[in-house]
Structure 1
Amino acid sequence: MAFGLSGPLLAHEYWIEPLDFTVAPDGRMMAFLKVGSELKGSTFPYIPAQFQSFTITNSQGTLDHKGIVGDSPALQVAEPVAGLNILAYHSNANRLTYRDPELLEKYLKAEGLDFVLEAHRENGWPEIDITETYTRNAKALVQVGPYDGGEDQALGLPFELVVEGSPYAPDTERVRVQLLWQGEPVADYPINVFIKEAEVTTARVHTDKAGFAEVDVPESGFVLLNAVHIARPEAKDTPFYESFWASMTFGR
């Protein structure tokens, strides 16, 4: 079951936004890397120094995307492989420091992670001058040519969203999406849902015991799913928190 999100979203999503989610076989597959809130934000060019991997998975397997430094859109592929193409971006880790006493609370509540905030306060930990490293795990599904039975798949990202089947299968109105942490299903966990049609609507779903949640597929527009895993690192002399952000986009 989904419920509306209230108040402005403080956290910034990171996602892959194709110019077109369905592409002709003789067309050009292009996609932006974007960061922002509620599907509004800035674009980032192709810069290899900023990511661990940037891949395209299709019927021919998984290949690294080899762009030109500074490309914008960051992904540009002429005559893409027919069928479902899975775009995946695994960023390098970045670091931030919380200096505003309200920032940590707003961030965790925006992502539905109230239980993390409760544990933080029960332990008496500070809410300012703490550091966090964060890594982005973004995916997008692009259909090239007519639907041919291609399906999304787990690609081994640390924190990953996987669509069961494909949103491009005929007569698809809803899809099941599984959330994985280190390849294992994550039960009873929040996923934020952003749907862009004439305007942007937001909601939140929770995974079931097997890590699945159901999401609507709009007739026109696109969907962004976003979830955040955050925990204390086990090693000493490391950032206070380590987080991994998973996102998935698909549309028509």
Structure 2
Amino acid sequence: MLDKTANKASFALSLKKVFAMLLSRLLLVASCALPLTPAAAHEYWIEPQAYQVAPGDTIQADFKNGQNFAGISLSYFDRSSTRFETVFDGQVNPVAARAGDSPALQLDALNADGLLVVVHETAPSTLTYKEWEKFLKFATHKDFPNAATDHIANGWSQEKFKESYTRHVKALIGVGSGPGADAAQGLTTEFVALSNPYAAGFDGQMSVALRYQGQPRPDAQIEVFDRSPDDSVAITLHRTDAMGEATIPVTPGHDYLFDAVVLRPVPEAADDPEEPVWETLWAALTFAVPQ
């Protein structure tokens, strides 16, 4: 009788442990799938585990979110992704990612030299500005001097107003000697690399075109994050010319994140505190410069 009672108690304890373990895993997955909070809504980029790979090597890359070119890795979830593709030798291929994949990109070997472009666009996420000053600081940082005036002119609240944001990111990976060229991929906003940093004869001048809705973005700010081999990061600001292009000097052995933001009012924003009144669209490009 005592043995049966002990066995029942042991079985009940085991069930509790299994249930607790399953619950903790479900909570972890759910937390990964939730939209980013305002505190986490900074730069977002694709970071390859190696920016240069040999033909035949597996290619892996993480989605990253953080500040100053340092941050956390995010898993792939289809609910937060609207587009995830690779482009190689002119061929566009959807990435066959599964929910929870980390690294987000796990690509079979490519058996030819070339430039691999990884493309990702996210579904909209929403944040709430609880302090007017934080919005002003963000608008100033991202070079939108008229945002405050437009906000007030529209009669929007300066307390607890919402913003919707999306990410439009690309990464350049050199396979073998890395020949090839980037091209516009039709993202809502995007960087198009006009230079190939892996190509023979690259002169240390990285030229890019910045686009929005298929058109050049002239006189737009580009924030450049330059990470050296010791992981220190230098940040500089640049502007596109009248053609929406910029040429930026880069250093061998360094990794780069180019970042540019579109801040726009939501068309016909409703007088509803639960609906966003602003949209931000973040373009990003990552690459490395070989030694």
Q: Is structure 2 residue 199 aligned with structure 1 residue 131?
A: no
Residue 15 (structure 2) aligns with: none
* CA deviation after TM superposition for structure 1 residue 60, in Å: 4.9
Would the aligned equivalents of 1:192 and 1:202 in 2 still touch at CA under 8 Å? Answer: yes
Partner of 1:91: 122
Q: Does 1:215 align with 2:214?
A: no
Instruction: Report the alpha carbon displacement of residue 119 of structure 1 after superposing the two structures with TM.
Output: 3.9
SS at match of 2:162: strand
| 1:195 and 2:232 aligned | no
- In 1: Cα distance, 2:269 partner to 2:159 partner: 19
The aligned residue for residue 7 of structure 1 is: none
Match of 1:107, SS state, is helix
Structural RMSD (CA)? 1.9
- Which residue matches 1:3? none
TM-score by length of 1: 0.90
Q: Which has the larger radius of gyration?
A: 2
Structure 2 equivalent of residue 241 of structure 1 = 278
Shift of 1:249: 0.3
Moved over 6 A (4+): none
More strand by share: 1
Unaligned runs of 5+ in 1: 1-9
Residues 201-241 of structure 1 show CA distances to partners (whole Å, capped at 9, x for unaligned) of: 00010111000111222201211011110111223435211
Q: Is 2:238 the counterpart of 1:205?
A: yes
CA distance in 2 between partners of 1:236 and 1:60 (Å) = 40
Residues 239 and 123 (structure 1), Cα distance of their counterparts in 2 relative to 1, 3 Å cut? closer
Per the alignment, residue 28 of structure 1 pairs with 58
User: Any unmatched runs of 5+ in structure 2?
Assistant: 1-39
- What TM-score, normalized by structure 2, do the two folds share? 0.78
- Displacement of 1:168: 1.5
* Structure (1 or 2) with the greater helix fraction: 2
Partners in 1 of 2:158 and 2:282 — Cα distance?
21
Give the residue type in structure 1 aligned to 2:279: E
2:95, 2:41 → 1: CA distance? 28
- Aligned pair count? 243
Q: Could you tell me which residue of structure 2 aligns to residue 19 of structure 1?
A: 49
Residue 103 (structure 2) aligns with: 73
- In the alignment, is the contact (CA less than 8 A) between 1:16 and 1:139 conserved in 2? yes
Q: Percent identity?
A: 32
In 1: Cα distance, 2:156 partner to 2:269 partner: 16
1:147, distance to aligned residue in structure 2 (A)? 3.0
Give the superposition deviation at 1:46. 1.6
How far is the alpha carbon of 1:90 from its aligned partner? Answer: 0.5
Check whether the contact 1:11–1:37 (CA below 8 A) recurs between aligned residues.
no
SS of corresponding position for 1:136: strand
Aligned residue in 2 for 1:184: 215
Q: Secondary structure at the match of 1:105?
A: helix
Measured in 2, the distance between the counterparts of 1:138 and 1:157 equals: 9
- Counterpart Cα distance in 1 of 2:158 and 2:94: 40
Q: Which whole-Å CA distance do the structure 2 matches of 1:153 and 1:117 have between them?
A: 35
Structure with bigger RCO (C-alpha 8 Å, 6+ apart): 1
The DSSP-based 3-state class of the residue aligned with 1:76 is strand
Q: Is the CA contact 2:196–2:202 (under 8 Å) kept in the aligned structure 1?
A: no
